[in-house]
Structure 1
Amino acid sequence: MRMLQRYKDGDRVNHWIVALLFLCAGLSGLAFFHPAFFFLSALFGGGPWTRILHPFFGVLMFLGFVGLFLRFRSRNVWKARDSEWVRKAPQLLRGHEEGMPAVGKNNAGQKGVFWGMTVCLLLLLVTGVMFWQPWFADSFPILARRIAVVVHALSATILILIAIVHIYAAIWVKGSVPAMMRGTVSEAWARKHHLLWYREVTGDKQ
């Protein structure tokens, strides 16, 4: 069975670095989100160290995602067929993939995850800087900082939900996780799930 390269080595390394930093930023952020999660600060050396490290995790995660954005943005441009895919998504959730429109390297769901993460990470960076003590917070009015804290928490919550959907979908579509581990997929997998991309890389028009 011939294998097709879906992700280059650099793509996969970039992805897993962002995933690791997301885990660190998420766990350290939850430690301060609610007292019930403060025990997570033990993973980072206690409260003071967690407070110091959290914003650096966030900045590094954002910078890592910039790499993914530059690599994948052209594959995530919204097209007319993506709107059709969204309209027919309920039947896909019921397990009927046969009637779904053919898609390229990324389907509409994957594009939604990509752009959702982009917006959330931008909001997290901007709002995080606004109340980052002791470096930048004093440059902003107290009301702006309070609003930033709320927007930061909401953006983080949405980002976590998007990540859960992303992980679930990767597990649900068998072959997706191995593709991000080894970089390749079978021709049968590509033809079934990403027909237009399969035709693009193989030249097979059938």
Structure 2
Amino acid sequence: MAGKQQGAESRRVYSAAGDEIVSRKPVLVTRYRGFTRLNHWITAGSMILLLLTGFAFFHPSLFWLTELFGGGQTTRWIHPWIGVLLFFSFLGMFVQMWHLNLPNRDDVEWAKKTRDVLQGNEESLPELGKYNAGQKTVFWGMAGAIVVLIATGMMIWEEHFPFLVSIPVRRVAVVVHAATALGIFLLFLLHVYAAIWTRGTIRAMTRGTVTGGWAYRHHRKWFRELAQRSTGKQAD
């Protein structure tokens, strides 16, 4: 019986958190479940649509973007509703991931060695959990910006909240909303660039898995924890 288990080409071991190591050649590690990946792409799609519809009103030179959505009136109508979708979609991700993005001492050490990160010298970096300090910064930055956007968006959504705030406050809300939108756009670009720059990362959100080598190199503490759980499951 033991020989059959050792000789099996593929064996899947589940962890309590839903992550798993798939023992095969090469070793694959499940990083995101299907629900999480769907949630991520809805959030990303909403973000892109919001940026396009929002920038259409950001400056007159960008008004041509409204033609992508059927004209100015249609774009003005759908923009806030996409914002509502983004808020609840990101809320779903927040509930799943907030505890994994809490800062710790490893993040401080990682941030001190930013040069090594940029040079790809990861052997000098501390072993990391599922997310590094850069990913956590993007996560909390996105979370804060989306809260500001939904709050200021409601203030300037005259169709449904005409008397929520005074006109002077609404004018300030418009400026804050636009500035925050620009900030979240930069965070979004940083997120996309980092995903492309770190080879193998996009696979995690398209297929749900990463290779064992990728996990060991970039998130070694997380990989070790999964390996320990797997060993415990096999022993049981």
TM-score category, normalised to shorter length: over 0.9
Unaligned runs of 5+ in 1: none
**Does the CA-based 8 Å contact 1:18-1:64 persist in structure 2?**
yes
More helix by share: 1
Q: Which residue of 1 aligns with 2:180?
A: 155
Note the C-alpha offset of 1:58: 0.6
Say yes or no: does 1:75 pair with 2:75: no
| Distance in 2 separating the partners of 1:139 and 1:44 | 28
The one of 182, 186, 201 equivalent to 1:176 is 201
Q: Which residue of 2 aligns with 1:52?
A: 77
Q: Which residue of 2 aligns with 1:31?
A: 56
Q: Which residue of 2 aligns with 1:146?
A: 171
**Does the CA-based 8 Å contact 1:4-1:184 persist in structure 2?**
yes
Secondary structure of the 1:4 match is strand
Q: Which residue of 2 aligns with 1:6?
A: 31
| Distance in 2 separating the partners of 1:133 and 1:143 | 14
Secondary structure of the 1:119 match is helix
Q: Which residue of 1 aligns with 2:90?
A: 65
Q: What is the total number of aligned residue pairs between the two structures? A: 204
**Does the CA-based 8 Å contact 1:137-1:145 persist in structure 2?**
no
Letter in 2 for 1:156: A
Secondary structure of the 2:29 match is strand
| Distance in 2 separating the partners of 1:203 and 1:175 | 23
Q: Which residue of 1 aligns with 2:137?
A: 112
- Runs of 4+ displaced beyond 4 Å: none
**Normalising by the residue count of structure 2, what TM-score does the alignment of the two structures yield?**
0.84
Percent of aligned positions that are identical: 45
Deviation track 1:133-158 (CA, whole Å, cap 9, x = no partner) reads: 22113321111111111110111111
Flag the 1:83–1:137 CA change in 2: closer, same or farther, 3 A.
farther
How does 1:84-103 map onto structure 2 within 5 Å? 84-103=109-128
Deviation track 1:79-107 (CA, whole Å, cap 9, x = no partner) reads: 11111111111221133222111100000
After alignment, is 184-193 or 130-139 more displaced? 130-139
- Pair member with larger Rg: 2
**Does the CA-based 8 Å contact 1:7-1:179 persist in structure 2?**
yes
Deviation track 1:14-46 (CA, whole Å, cap 9, x = no partner) reads: 000111111111100000000111111011110
Aligned residues: CA RMSD:
1.0
Note the C-alpha offset of 1:126: 0.1
**Normalising by the residue count of structure 1, what TM-score does the alignment of the two structures yield?**
0.96
Q: Which residue of 1 aligns with 2:146?
A: 121
| Distance in 1 separating the partners of 2:158 and 2:134 | 37
